[in-house]
A = this chain, B = another copy of it.
Amino acid sequence: MSQTTTTFVPGLEDVVAAQTRLSSVDGQAGQLIIAGFPVEELASQATFEETVYLLWHDALPTAEQLAAFTQSLAAQHTLPRATLALLEAATRQKAPVMDTLRMAAATLSLRAEGEAPSADPRRDALGLVARFPTIVAAYWRLLHGEKPLVPHPRLGHAANYLYMLFGKVPSAERTRGMETYLNTIVDHGLNASTFTARVIISTQSDLVSAIVGALGALKGPLHGGAPGPALDMVFEIGEAANAEPYLRRKLEQGERLMGFGHRVYKVRDPRAEVLSAAAERLYRSDGDMGLYHLARQVEQTAVALLAEYKPGRNLQTNVEFYTALLLHGLGFSTALFTPTFAIGRVVGWIAHCFEQQALNRLIRPQSVYVGAKDRRWIPLAQR
């Protein structure tokens, strides 16, 4: 539109669209900082509520602040009746879980029964974070012919998600595994879904609109891949002795190894480190250690063979490989992997919206016209 700029930047590659205090991704050093903390320092120690508070306030909460925050989050768990009715309609058509989460999240502009109208801008933020697990768990149970459960009044956010999905109070180890996962993936620079949320909120639209847009972007296969296939590969390999021949065959057929390689990270993804440690702890306390050892063996063999077949490419283990192992250990089907990712990432999306609102500037790039000009109208009868 401007007369001085005509250079099209495909994909906006290398254009910097935001300054952020929320996370820093250094792909050369393999370092991820979340609100000032190296991910290794934060993810395995914080409760999810502490991480949410940290991202939204740029500081860890005191005991008193945390108690108040935990309570106000838990108070928003319940779904509006219209949201539940929509989940039931989606169940009848067996809609994909991500589509259903997006549809249901869109209805969170509505109030739950008995909820007073509120002008507090944090109401939508808390409501979205609190209700994502309720939506996913309720829909999952409906899909499997089970009644949705109401949230457990004495459980934290992560434990409640496991409880509402599986119907029993989770062990401390399982809750820790869930929290470590959600903390690890809570934010990661300006990926496409986070950018979507910032673009929408930059028009001074509302938080529900921004988050629903982000959910739509997260669903796309180019956003960040799907962790399911990485685990499928481990199951197909079955035992350690098969790893090398199986992986060699794949590589010689020119196939991609799922769970390895990342656009940004040229060393091991720091999230893989955190999640593999979390998976080890979980499987050791309450799981199939044989599967854990097999996965490690597959990882080591894959990294070695990738160096042999694709020298100089630095294809290392990415976040998907141990996401799959950890979530599988927690009892999740692969259909729940991306929705569970959203349950963590929504916190980062909202934090980016808060940053963007503070800046208060419309994100509005230009287009260049490459089409026809001066076409003339031809009446229908003469075409």
Complex contacts, A218 vs chain B, CB 8 Å: 203, 205
The reply to whether A368 and B20 contact each other, CB–CB distance below 8 Å, is yes
Q: Which of B13, B17, B195, B375 contacts A37 (CB 8 A)?
A: B375
The reply to whether A1 and B15 contact each other, CB–CB distance below 8 Å, is no
Residue on B nearest A198 in the bound complex, by CB: B367
A14 at the interface (CB under 8 A from B): yes
CB-CB under 8 A for A217 and B189, given A19-B367, A362-B11 = no
Contact segment of A98-106, A136-144, A296-304 = A98-106
A212 at the interface (CB under 8 A from B): yes
CB-CB under 8 A for A16 and B22, given A189-B366, A364-B191, A371-B33 = no
Complex contacts, A66 vs chain B, CB 8 Å: 380
Complex contacts, A107 vs chain B, CB 8 Å: 86, 89, 103, 106
Contact segment of A24-32, A161-169, A239-247, A282-290 = A24-32
Residue on B nearest A65 in the bound complex, by CB: B383
A129 at the interface (CB under 8 A from B): no
- CB of A169 to closest CB in B, whole Å: 22
- Flag A1-14 by CB within 8 Å of B: 1 or 0 each: 11111111111111
Q: Which of B11, B81, B93 contacts A361 (CB 8 A)?
A: B11
A148 at the interface (CB under 8 A from B): no
- CB of A299 to closest CB in B, whole Å: 25
A222 at the interface (CB under 8 A from B): yes
CB-CB under 8 A for A22 and B371, given A213-B213, A376-B41 = yes
In the assembled complex, the Cα of A39 lies from the Cα of B174 at a distance in Å of 61
A42 at the interface (CB under 8 A from B): yes
Complex contacts, A381 vs chain B, CB 8 Å: 63
A308 at the interface (CB under 8 A from B): no
Complex contacts, A210 vs chain B, CB 8 Å: 216
Complex contacts, A374 vs chain B, CB 8 Å: 36, 38
A327 at the interface (CB under 8 A from B): no
Name the residue among A10, A193, A200, A216 with the largest chain B CB count within 10 angstroms. A216
Residue on B nearest A219 in the bound complex, by CB: B205
A58 at the interface (CB under 8 A from B): yes
A90 at the interface (CB under 8 A from B): yes
- CB of A189 to closest CB in B, whole Å: 5
The reply to whether A86 and B93 contact each other, CB–CB distance below 8 Å, is no
The reply to whether A363 and B8 contact each other, CB–CB distance below 8 Å, is no
A196 at the interface (CB under 8 A from B): yes
- CB of A222 to closest CB in B, whole Å: 5
The reply to whether A368 and B19 contact each other, CB–CB distance below 8 Å, is yes
In the assembled complex, the Cα of A361 lies from the Cα of B192 at a distance in Å of 12
A61 at the interface (CB under 8 A from B): yes
The reply to whether B21 and A370 contact each other, CB–CB distance below 8 Å, is yes
Residue on B nearest A117 in the bound complex, by CB: B93
Knowing that A38-B374, A205-B220 are A-B contacts, what are 8 other residue pairs whose CB atoms are under 8 Å apart, sorted by A's residue number?
A: A3-B28, A33-B369, A41-B375, A42-B377, A106-B212, A190-B367, A195-B364, A213-B214
22 contacts between A and B (CB under 8 A): A1-B26, A2-B14, A12-B15, A13-B364, A16-B366, A18-B368, A19-B369, A41-B376, A41-B377, A60-B383, A95-B110, A103-B107, A189-B367, A192-B202, A195-B363, A195-B365, A196-B199, A204-B220, A206-B216, A209-B215, A209-B217, A213-B213
